[in-house]
């Protein structure tokens, strides 16, 4: 598949995922109204017995089937199908919460608790946790579709083993309270209401799940041909920052326009990435993109330095720290990839 076709497919998968997110949010909103649980974190959080509970379980399974189906239709290889499924799942999950926010003002912040899933046991966690995984899925899927050649070498199985362990660890963190209640019966599981989230263990899980992304970033730095994924990575970074900015703005009650700062940087990066697809404009567009990313990193690194406040409860503006941390990590990673690409391009030019 040529780069233009991959971009078109990426956009169509994104449109499908956003539309599906609205449908999912509408169904969940109707269900919460029906059982009087617009705020999911309250005593007796899952008052769904009998047919209603079984229907909801099947609906969740059907959601996974639909996301996998669109991924299989979009990709032409096994790897591409997994990649597009990851993109669809990540975008669907993020926009699901944005749609709920638009519908009735929940979640109020990214730290609001939610029942994330019901299969095989109820998953609990702050909204920030699943959306962090969603960002990772979008990043991996986008990089994998932009660099269709699979990474070679003995390290790849180890990376996927690490990712599998990370996924299992994340599932344990989400279901830990339900697992502890399981020996006491189904009613005890339904009545679970967690009081603390294991952030340190979750961050370890997230780091392990990020392992397969590393070789793709390395490939991005080495590929300097016209079909290099660096412009696509720039565009993807721009989209990711736009999502971070919009999520921060709406999930904090549209109280501050400064929450949209990541979106402003994302818009500039997305424009640079689009311009870089033209070989005549690539050099200037990529240099501009790196300059924007550097400014973004310098402006957001203070959030990364204040992340300890999230764990000890002293953070004055936790949502701002999260947004700044995500922006700092993404822009720093992008700068490293782009600079490596510049260096290799310069060496290749001298050698020729």
Comparing 58-72, 115-129, 199-213, 338-352, which segment has the lowest mean pLDDT? 338-352
H/E run at residue 116:
strand 113-117
Find, among 213, 293, 277, 290, the residue nearest to 6 by Cα. Answer: 277
pLDDT in tens, 175-207: 999 999 999 988 888 888 998 899 889 989 988
Stretch 20-39: mean pLDDT: 92
User: Residue holding tokens 């709920």?
Assistant: 100
Q: Quote the pLDDT of residue 346.
A: 74
83, 11 contact by CB (below 8 A): no
Strand, helix or coil for residue 8: helix
Label residue 172 exposed, middle or buried (CB < 10 Å: 0-12, 13-18, 19+). Answer: middle
231, 282 contact by CB (below 8 A): yes
Tokens of 174: 């989400």
The domain ranges of the chain are 224-352
Sign for the pseudo-dihedral over CA of 292, 296, 298, 304: negative
Q: Quote the pLDDT of residue 224.
A: 41
Tokens of 329: 């990590």
Please give the DSSP secondary-structure letter assigned to residue 183.
G
């Amino acid at each position: 598949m040529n780069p233009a076709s991959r971009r078109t497919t990426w956009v169509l998968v994104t449109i499908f995922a956003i539309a599906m997110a609205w449908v999912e949010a509408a169904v969940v909103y109707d269900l919460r109204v029906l059982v009087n649980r617009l705020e999911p974190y309250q005593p007796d959080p899952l008052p769904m017995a009998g047919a209603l509970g079984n229907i909801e379980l099947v609906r969740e399974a059907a959601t996974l089937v639909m996301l996998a189906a669109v991924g299989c239709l979009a990709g032409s290889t096994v790897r591409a199908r997994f990649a597009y499924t990851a993109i669809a799942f990540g975008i669907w999950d993020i926009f699901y919460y944005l749609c709920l926010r638009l519908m009735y003002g929940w979640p109020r912040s990214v730290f609001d608790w939610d029942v994330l899933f019901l299969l095989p046991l109820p998953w609990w966690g702050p909204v920030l946790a699943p959306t962090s995984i969603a960002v990772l899925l979008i990043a991996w899927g986008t990089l994998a579709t932009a660099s269709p050649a699979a990474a070679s070498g003995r390290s790849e199985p180890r990376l996927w083993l690490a990712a599998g362990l990370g996924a299992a660890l994340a599932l344990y963190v989400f279901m830990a309270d339900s697992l502890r209640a399981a020996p006491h019966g189904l009613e005890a599981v339904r009545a679970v209401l967690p009081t603390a989230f294991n952030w340190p263990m979750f961050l370890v899980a997230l780091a392990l799940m990020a392992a397969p992304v590393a070789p793709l970033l390395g490939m991005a730095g080495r590929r300097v041909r016209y079909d290099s994924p660096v412009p696509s990575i720039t565009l993807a970074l721009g989209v990711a920052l736009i999502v971070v900015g919009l999520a921060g703005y709406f999930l904090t009650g549209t109280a501050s326009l400064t929450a949209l700062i990541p979106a402003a940087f994302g818009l500039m990066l997305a424009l640079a990435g689009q311009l870089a697809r033209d070989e005549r404009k690539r050099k200037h567009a990529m240099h501009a993109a790196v300059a924007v990313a550097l400014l973004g990193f310098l402006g957001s690194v203070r959030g990364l330095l204040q992340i300890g406040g999230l764990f000890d409860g002293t953070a004055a503006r936790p949502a701002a720290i999260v947004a700044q941390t995500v922006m700092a990590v993404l822009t720093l990673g992008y700068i490293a990839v782009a600079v490596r690409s510049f260096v290799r391009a310069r060496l290749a030019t001298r050698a020729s």
